[in-house]
């Protein structure tokens, strides 16, 4: 981080580093633009307004979960290679979706099912916090273990079957439109604005980045680091809970396999760093990255390229992004 660099002697290196960061960032934007232009030229129906809003709608669930991952990155180490991570996030969303669907099926209304889903997500987030902060387990292992717990609980609840549900709220979320845009699109837009405000303009958000950016400096400034790490995991869990409602709405049911979203979520949160000025995880960057991945998936579909390639490309993106950002930061 920049705080490590001492003034004076480091200036030439710092400038060089700034240029390489700028190059990475411009490269990322140019890459996004180039791919979008390529799809516009080759894929039938890509630029139709209906399809463009589809892309945003199809990126919403991915984007919201990736926001959760971004908060964890921000609070546990903005250098993603050395900091924290939440591998349980997608499985947590799956568990919350199961809680929500099973409660609705058993006759409880949304007024109980929605808070229950969000609280479940936060509880799983708190469990991550306990493992990482209290037991000081390496985040990679701690959240991997919690992933298994969440998956196990989901399977227990649903017995690995599809739990169909219907409610007026679900219909509104899945198929409602307002001013020409779908409910999911609006939720993505509003969530992005709210989270940008919290993460980048509020006191809590700035302190979260301080904790993640330089633990010792934050502690010296009187910040309770542990509380912010807990907060990041719990907030991510809460987002997983919130997103689970959208997942259930989109699929009209809770289905097994939500945990498969881990790779795209990680890819979006990591890719988001190359859209930011200092190559750190930001809400705006992650939003762009989620749209980028949504665009890729959509363009591949339109061109008739197998969806299996999308996961391959996501894996490759993770490698490239991590390699490029760590190189540019040196």
Partner 1 sequence: MHTAFKITLAAALALMAGGAMAEEGNVPSLKGKTVGVTVIGTDHHWDLQAYQGQIDELKKLGAEVIALDAGRNDQTQVSQIQTLIAQHPDAIIQQLGNIEVLAPWLKRIRQADIPLFTVDTATPEAITNTTSDNYSIGAQLALQMVKDMRGEGKVAVFNGFYSVPVCKIRYDQLKYVLQSFPRIEIIEPELRDVIPNTVQSAYSDVNDVLNQYGPDSGLKAVWACWDVPMIGATQAIADAGRKDVKTYGVDGSPEFVEMVADPKSPAGAVAAQQPYKIGQTAAQTVARFLNGDEVPPFNFIPAVLVTKENAGETAAPFLPKDGKTGDKAEGASDKTEGKAEGKAAAQ
Q: Does 252 interact with partner 1 (rule: CB under 8 A)?
A: yes
Q: Does 48 interact with partner 1 (rule: CB under 8 A)?
A: yes
d(CA 57, CA 44): 19
- Which stretch, 34-42, 212-220, 252-260, 318-326, contacts partner 1 (CB under 8 A)? 252-260
Q: Does 306 interact with partner 1 (rule: CB under 8 A)?
A: yes
Q: Does 301 interact with partner 1 (rule: CB under 8 A)?
A: yes
Q: Does 302 interact with partner 1 (rule: CB under 8 A)?
A: yes
d(CA 304, CA 317): 21
Give the position of tokens 């762009």.
288
Q: Which helix (H) or strand (E) holds 253?
A: strand 253-254
CA 113, 57, 263, 288 torsion: positive or negative?
negative
- Minimum gap (Å) between residue 162 Cβ and partner 1: 4
* # of chain residues touching partner 1 (CB under 8 A): 36
Maximal CA-CA distance, the chain: 68
Cβ proximity to partner 1: between 73 and 292 the closer is 292
Q: How many residues does the chain have?
A: 330
d(CA 67, CA 188): 10
CA-wise closest residue to 5 among 213, 161, 309: 213
- Minimum gap (Å) between residue 136 Cβ and partner 1: 34
d(CA 88, CA 121): 10
Q: Does 45 interact with partner 1 (rule: CB under 8 A)?
A: yes
d(CA 268, CA 203): 25
Give the position of tokens 């209304």.
109
31, 250, 263, 322: residue in contact with partner 1 (rule CB under 8 A):
250
Q: Does 44 interact with partner 1 (rule: CB under 8 A)?
A: yes
Relative orientation angle of helices 89-105 and 110-129, to the nearest 10 degrees: 150
Q: Does 263 interact with partner 1 (rule: CB under 8 A)?
A: no
- Residue 114 near residue 100 (C-beta atoms within 8 A): yes
Q: Does 307 interact with partner 1 (rule: CB under 8 A)?
A: yes
Residues 135-174 binding partner 1 (CB under 8 A) are 159-162, 164, 174
Cβ proximity to partner 1: between 20 and 301 the closer is 301
28, 229, 247, 270: residue in contact with partner 1 (rule CB under 8 A):
247
- Residue 250 near residue 78 (C-beta atoms within 8 A): no
92, 185, 255, 282: residue in contact with partner 1 (rule CB under 8 A):
255
- Minimum gap (Å) between residue 35 Cβ and partner 1: 16
Q: Enumerate binding residues for partner 1 (CB under 8 A).
A: 44-45, 48, 50-51, 54, 57-58, 61, 159-162, 164, 174-175, 247, 250-253, 255-258, 260-261, 297-298, 301-302, 304, 306-308, 311
């Amino acid at each position: 981080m920049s705080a490590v660099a001492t003034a004076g002697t480091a200036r030439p290196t710092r400038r060089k580093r700034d240029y390489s960061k700028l190059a990475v960032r411009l490269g990322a934007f140019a890459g996004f633009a180039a791919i979008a232009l390529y799809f516009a030229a080759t894929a039938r129906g890509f630029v139709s307004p209906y399809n463009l809003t589809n892309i945003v709608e199809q990126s919403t669930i991915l984007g919201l979960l990736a926001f959760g991952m971004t908060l964890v990155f921000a609070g546990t180490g903005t250098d993603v290679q050395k900091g924290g991570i939440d591998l349980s996030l997608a499985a947590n969303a799956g568990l919350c979706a199961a809680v929500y669907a099973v409660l609705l099926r058993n006759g409880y209304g949304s007024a109980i099912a929605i808070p229950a889903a969000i609280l479940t997500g936060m509880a799983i987030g708190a469990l991550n916090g306990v493992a990482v902060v209290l037991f000081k387990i390496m985040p990679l292992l701690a959240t991997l273990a919690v992933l298994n717990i969440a998956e196990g609980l989901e399977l227990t609840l649903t017995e690995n079957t599809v739990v169909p549900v219907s409610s007026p709220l679900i219909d509104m979320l899945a198929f409602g439109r307002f001013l020409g845009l779908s409910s999911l699109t609006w939720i993505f837009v509003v969530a992005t604005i709210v989270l940008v405000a919290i993460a980048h303009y509020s006191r809590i958000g700035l302190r979260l980045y301080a904790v993640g950016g330089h633990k010792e400096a934050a502690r010296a400034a009187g910040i309770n680091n542990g509380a912010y790490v807990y907060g990041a995991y719990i907030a991510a869990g809460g987002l997983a809970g919130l997103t689970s409602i959208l997942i259930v709405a989109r699929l009209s049911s809770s289905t097994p396999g939500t945990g498969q979203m881990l790779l795209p979520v990680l890819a979006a949160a990591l890719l988001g760093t190359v859209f930011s000025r200092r190559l750190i995880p930001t809400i705006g960057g992650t939003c762009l990255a989620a749209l980028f991945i949504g665009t890729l998936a959509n363009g591949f579909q339109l061109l008739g390229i197998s969806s299996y390639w999308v996961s391959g490309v996501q894996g490759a993106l993770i490698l490239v992004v991590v390699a490029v950002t760590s190189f540019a930061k040196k």
